[in-house]
Structure 1
Amino acid sequence: MVLADACFNITHSSFKENFEDILNESKKLGVGHFFCPAAEKKDIDKVIKFSSIYKEISCGIGIHPHHANEVDAELLMKLETLINQEDITAIGEIGLDYYRDFQQKITQQESFEEQLKLASDHKMPVFLHNREAFKDFYSILKKYFSNLPGGIVHCFTGSKDELVSFLDLGLYIGITGWVCDERRGADLNSLLKFIPKDRLIIETDAPYLIPRNLKSKTKHNINTPMNLPHIAEHIANVRGENVIEMAEYTTENFKKLFTL
C-alpha cells in the first residue's frame, strides 16, 4: 500500500529536530509521496530546498491568507522567477480565512487574486485554503479556474452545498484527520460518500489536526505523516471501501494533480 500525504507542513518548528526520523518512519508505514506547501515568505526557499533534496517531496510556493500582507510586487516577482523549477508542483497555500481573521478581508482577497493570476498565467495547479469564507472564495476562484490545470480544496470541512460547488468546478477534495474527531468531524463523515473516487485526496496537515481517535499519540500531541494510514483506514471504513484500493486511487489522484 502506497499512500500520498497532500499536506505536510515541513517548515514547522515541530520538525526541526527529527525530520529525517519522521520521514523515514512514514515511508516504512507506506507513505511514499509528500506535498509540502509554503505559508509565508520565509518558507519559500525552505520548501524548495527540501524538495530538491528528497525525491519523495514536491512543494508549493505561495502565501497563506494569514500572511496575506506579504504579497507585494517584490514577492510576486520572486514567485515568477521560481515557478518553473521542477520540484514546484503548485501555487499554494493560498485562499481566504475569515475564521482567524488575522488579515483584513480585502487584503486576503487581493492576495488570493494576485496568486491565482500567477497560477493561471503559468498553468499551475493551486493548493487552496478556505475557512468560513466560501462566498468570496468561490466567487474569486471561479473567475480563474477555467484557466488552471487543477486544484485541491485542502482540509475540506464545509457543507454539502459547498462540496457540490467545488466538485462541479472540477476540484479535488482534501480530507484530513478532522474526520477522526467524533465531535466536530461528524458532519464531514456524513459527506465522505458524496466525494467521487477520482476527486478524493487524503492528507495529515501535520503537525496540526492529530486524529482524535488515535490509541496512542506522539510526544507533545503533534501530528505527523506517520498517522496517514490511520486516517486512510478511517475514511475507507466510513466509505465502505477497501483501504488498499482507496490508497491506490487517492495516490493516483495526488500524482495527477501535481503532475508526478
Structure 2
Amino acid sequence: MQLIDIGANLTHDSFDHDRDAVLQRARDAGIVQMMVTGASREHSPKALALAQAHPGFLFATAGVHPHHAVEYTDECDAEMRALHAHPEVVAVGECGLDYFRDFSPRPAQRRAFERQLQIAADLAVEGVGKPLFLHQRDAHADFMAVMKSFEGRIGPAVVHCFTGTREEMFDYLDRDWHIGITGWLCDERRGLHLRELVKSIPANRLMIETDAPYLLPRTVKPKPSHHRNEPRFLAHIVEELARDRGEEVATTAAMTTATARDFFRLSAIP
C-alpha cells in the first residue's frame, strides 16, 4: 500500500526527541507522502522547514488555526503570504472556525478566516491557486456563510478531521469539497456515527489523515504507552475505513492516495 497522510502536526514539540524515527516508522507503514500542518505563526514556518528538509516526502500547509486567530495581524498576513511563495507549501490553512472551545473570540476567528480565504483568492488570480485546508467545529452556519462570501473565487477545499453531522457532510459534498477522515472514526464514544456516514463519501472526495499527535485511534492494539498518535497509525485508520465502506483495504488505500495526490498536485512516487 501507498498511503498519504494529509494532516500531521509534525512540528509539535512531542516529536522533538524522535522526529526522524517517527518519519522512518511512517515510511515502514506505507506512508509515501505527508502534509505537515501549519496552524500558527510559529508553526507554519516550521512546517515549511520540515518539508524543505524532506523533499518529495513532506509538504507543508501554512495558516492560522482559529484557536490562534487573535495573532492574525497585518504582519501575520504578510508572513503567511511569504510562506505561500514557496512551492513546498501546498495548501492555505489550517484555517476556519472553532466555537467548541472559543480560544479566540468569534469575531476574531471570522476575521482571520476571511483574511486567509482572501490569500487563497489572490493566489487563484495570480495563477498559482492552492487548495484550502479547513477546520470547522460547532460553527457550521457561520462557516458556510463565510465560505459563501468567497464563492467562485477560491479553488478546491478539504474539511479536515471531519466529525460533524450527516447534514454538514452533505453541505460540503454538495459544494464539491473534500472530506478528511481521522482516527475519530475509531472512537466508540464520539465517532460511531461516522461508521455509517463514510459509506456516502464519493471516492474522489475522500482523504485520510492522522492529525498526529492528536486523536490516537482508540482501536489500535497494543496502545503505545505514551498515547501519542503518529503517522504510522494511518494504516490502521484505512483498515477501519475500508471495513466500514465495504471495500478491500487496498482499494480504499489506492483511492484515497489518488485523491490526495490530485488535490494537492503531488507528483507520483515510483
TM-score category by the smaller chain? Answer: over 0.9
Residue by residue over 1:41-74, the C-alpha shift from the partner in whole angstroms, topping out at 9 and shown as x without a partner, is: 1112211110011121111111000000111111
Alignment-derived partner of residue 11 in structure 2: 11
Alignment-derived partner of residue 257 in structure 1: 263
Alignment-derived partner of residue 76 in structure 2: 75
Alignment-derived partner of residue 159 in structure 2: 153
Name the CA distance, whole Å, in 2 between partners of 1:145 and 1:182.
Answer: 36
Contact 2:45/2:83 (8 A) holds in 1: no
* Secondary structure in structure 2 of the residue aligned to 1:147: coil
Residue by residue over 1:51-100, the C-alpha shift from the partner in whole angstroms, topping out at 9 and shown as x without a partner, is: 01112111111100000011111111122222121101001110000001
Q: Report the AA paired with residue 209 of structure 2.
A: E
Alignment-derived partner of residue 177 in structure 1: 183
Q: Report the AA paired with residue 110 of structure 2.
A: Q
Greater shift in the superposed pair: 92-101 or 75-84 = 75-84
Alignment-derived partner of residue 112 in structure 1: 113
Cα shift at 1:11:
1.1
Alignment-derived partner of residue 86 in structure 2: 85
More helix by percentage: 1
* Secondary structure in structure 2 of the residue aligned to 1:190: helix
Q: Report the AA paired with residue 49 of structure 1.
A: A
Alignment-derived partner of residue 187 in structure 1: 193
Name the CA distance, whole Å, in 1 between partners of 2:109 and 2:232.
Answer: 33
| 4+ residue segments displaced more than 4 Å | none
Alignment-derived partner of residue 31 in structure 1: 31
Q: Report the AA paired with residue 100 of structure 2.
A: Y
Contact 2:140/2:168 (8 A) holds in 1: yes
Cα shift at 1:146:
2.4
Greater shift in the superposed pair: 104-113 or 183-192 = 183-192
Q: Report the AA paired with residue 62 of structure 1.
A: G
Name the CA distance, whole Å, in 2 between partners of 1:168 and 1:217.
Answer: 38
Q: Report the AA paired with residue 157 of structure 1.
A: T
Alignment-derived partner of residue 45 in structure 1: 45
Contact 2:158/2:177 (8 A) holds in 1: yes
Name the CA distance, whole Å, in 2 between partners of 1:45 and 1:156.
Answer: 25
Please give the TM-score of this superposition, normalised by the length of structure 2.
0.94
Alignment-derived partner of residue 142 in structure 1: 148
Name the CA distance, whole Å, in 1 between partners of 2:183 and 2:151.
Answer: 27
Residue in structure 2 matching 1:223, options 195, 219, 229:
229
Where do 5+ consecutive residues of structure 2 fail to align? 124-128
Residue in structure 2 matching 1:238, options 234, 241, 244:
244
Name the CA distance, whole Å, in 1 between partners of 2:233 and 2:81.
Answer: 35
Contact 2:180/2:206 (8 A) holds in 1: yes
Please give the TM-score of this superposition, normalised by the length of structure 1.
0.98
Alignment-derived partner of residue 126 in structure 2: none
Cα shift at 1:145:
4.2
Contact 1:145/1:169 (8 A) holds in 2: no
* Secondary structure in structure 2 of the residue aligned to 1:230: helix
The alignment status of 1:125 with 2:131, answered yes or no, reads yes
Name the CA distance, whole Å, in 2 between partners of 1:68 and 1:248.
Answer: 36
Residue by residue over 1:109-134, the C-alpha shift from the partner in whole angstroms, topping out at 9 and shown as x without a partner, is: 01000100111110221100000000
Contact 1:96/1:130 (8 A) holds in 2: yes
Q: Report the AA paired with residue 172 of structure 1.
A: H
Name the CA distance, whole Å, in 1 between partners of 2:61 and 2:108.
Answer: 21
* Secondary structure in structure 1 of the residue aligned to 2:60: strand
Root-mean-square deviation (CA), in Å? Answer: 0.9
Name the CA distance, whole Å, in 1 between partners of 2:16 and 2:10.
Answer: 9
Name the CA distance, whole Å, in 2 between partners of 1:145 and 1:117.
Answer: 11
Name the CA distance, whole Å, in 2 between partners of 1:181 and 1:80.
Answer: 37
Name the CA distance, whole Å, in 2 between partners of 1:153 and 1:142.
Answer: 15
Q: Percent identity?
A: 40
